[in-house]
Structure 1
Amino acid sequence: MQIKIGIIGLQQVVDKLLKVIKAFPTFAPVVRIVSDVEEVSSAAESLATEVEVLLVFGAHAHRQIKDHVDVTIPVHYVPLTGAGLYKTLFRALQTGRLNGGFSIDSLTKSMVMNVLQDLGIESAKCVVYNGPAHASPDKLYEFHHQLLSTGACEFAITGVESVARRLSADQAANEWLVPSDQDMSVTLERALLSTESRRIKESQIVVGMIKVDEFGKLVMKRSNEHEVQKLKLDIHRMVLDYVESLDGYLTPIGGDEYLFFTTRGIFERETGGYKTIPLAKDASQSLGISLSFGVGFGTSANEAGTNARAALRNSREAGGNTCFIIREDQTLIGPLEMSDPIQTALSPTHTALIKQAEDAGMTSAYLSKLLSHTAKFGKYEYTVHELATLLDITVRSAHRLLLLWMDNGLVDISGMEKVPKGRPRQIFRFSFLKDKTIT
């Protein structure tokens, strides 16, 4: 089951976080949009009973909850670090706003100076707010207003949206400093580790299946049986080393397939949060082979094994050299990055969408190929001829499937492609694939 996380904040920063959180398939966000930091307490109180962890923006919002709401669940806030300042200062530098100096709050002096040094503008005049991290918006406004009105600074950078709004009303040059994607990712990782469900799932058994792609062709290239046996030993040794890094247990199933067991927490850390499979790159570079992975989660060993086999089938149907994960709720994660770099990240494909695709005549083989191709090339628009080539079917069959998928809302026409000779070709957009893309 997914872990519900309550997210409280202004629309702009919440929208940004919702893009980042797609890389955390375990989280199911429950959002409350507020227009002012003073509304955070009441929003937290209403969410506390339906989520496992709360996430807000800024130290002041965090203090509001701690002081006014009796919560028994973990509460985290996205801090502002120097990572978010680079972009702001770069824009200010381009527009010449830094010439007269700037004032800044929400960051320490050392953070600001490190960024200025990295940008080579350490001589820029700046005044850093030296008060408490959870200072009220009124105090921060007075700090900037005094410096701007006296001419000591010409530009203000604030981490509090209401302060930026008041300064803008005064027609004072300012910019609202928002957390970077990196700040948000780090906070989400901490939030995930603090939940009770996460601690329980840390020890959940994970079943994985590995199959060497086109093993028969590899064997045929060997000149004698000794070479074949050496290849098998090399593959076995490499897979064994990988499973050892997972603190797992490995058993071979024939010469080209392996079964391993590990725990969910270790597997998640080794894959960087279900993003990449290090073994695949090693196999490609050292032995020139590609692997298909299938990983299954489940509430029992039987369920995890069944899901692993189904995930391996998705990987094989996608053409190999890929990995899919099927969780206990039948959510499909993947493809993970293998030896080839992934151009686009995909959020988890949920059961309802899989069922919608199947009801529309899109088999798991077609869905796997489309997901894999989108992840590797960032492509979600095809002509009928491109689709036929990708799915290894005739153009006539591709036309028939496209009409069926259009009727079921999976595909729409996005435009026309001009060709040197003949009629223009329609371009079909797989809208559900675009919706699954993390931008």
Structure 2
Amino acid sequence: MKIGINGTEDSALRIKKIMNNIFPEIEISIYAEEKIKDAHKSFDICQQENDGIIFTGIGVMKSILNTNLELIKPYEYIARDGSSILKVLWELKKSNQFPKEISIDVVNKIALNEMLEEFDVSFDKIKILPYSSSISEEEYLEFHKKNKLENEINTFITGFGSVYKELKEDNYNVFRLHPTSLKVRENTEKLIYKINTQMIHHSSIVVQVIKLILKGDSFHQYKTLKQKGKFELELLEYVQEIQGSLLNIGKDEYMIFSTRGSLKGRVSISKFLNIMKKESKYNFLIFSGIGYGASSYLAEMSARKALKKALLKNSPSLYIKDGDLMNGPIGDKKEESFDIKIRDIKILKIAEITRINPLHIAKLIEVINQTGNKEVSTQDISNYLSLTERSARRILNKLIDNNYAILSGKEAFTGVGRPKKIVKLKF
């Protein structure tokens, strides 16, 4: 595991020393700048070369977050809290010149007062300027200098390396709020957990199932084989891009195995969409589903559910199922994201009583809300839920039997088949 420390040099060196003692198995690198406002200069390379990032303080972290830089790796910052204050108080006590007045920055007033009360320490005068991302290092420096001139304060405590350095050069009696072993251990353990979680997430299995549907009834076998050969060459390039493996699992079906980390979002998926858009060159339509899972089996099950959704479309489509979320058709103007796990108590209750799939209940309620019409026929149910009329009739009968629908009439008889029931839903 590699962790980069981004921030001011004196804090970075101190943090690295502590981390080396506590976590000797971790490879640690420093990416330091003299001032917080310059931390962004070494941030990109820090993020590229490491699994996670430790910022030397909240100021460094905020300076990065306030830029256009994208934080994609796990990160933590080392706060200056009560333990840092305690360390300075101990240094003051050892100096045998315990001051009556102090000028201190970064820490908040509550944390300072708690530590002073806990160790029965008091000062006649305290000037404090807590951390704020809107205050520059130069302003913190001026704060301390002003306190020396106007308030005759002679002891200064700062959390900024650049402020400490300048005050020290001007012979101020200045002390540094350093990161402590306690906070370094605590935040490094949090970061390790985040890194491991991300690694597991990125290594989860991705399965993509691709189905080719022939256009029309008549096919010239040689022409079809030739076109499929071209399609497979393009598909192989896409598979290499996502570092996957390709299986031909049937006459017109393919399966791709990869990992979440290799299938890098829309950038890689767009390459497959470009292949799909070339369907006019082929005598077949391309449909696909992508699924994520902790195992190949679970990923394939998710991919097949996504493919089933794609096959309901009249044109080439791609859907993605990740956990309880389904997205699609990917790249389409009407792309939507929806939760396929029903959590609505009302829907779950109706489904339990009627023994109807809760997704079917949810879809019917959605249609009612969109149309404002509660009257439906067997044909309507069949169209809404993409079911056969026989299955739709069974659903209507279950709703009637459990008092969630009432018969309100029949469609006009056309002389073909039986007149269809029209029922009013009671959702």
TM-score normalised according to structure 2 size: 0.43
Bigger Rg, structure 1 or 2: 2
**Which of structures 1 and 2 has the larger relative contact order (alpha carbons within 8 angstroms, sep 6+)?**
1
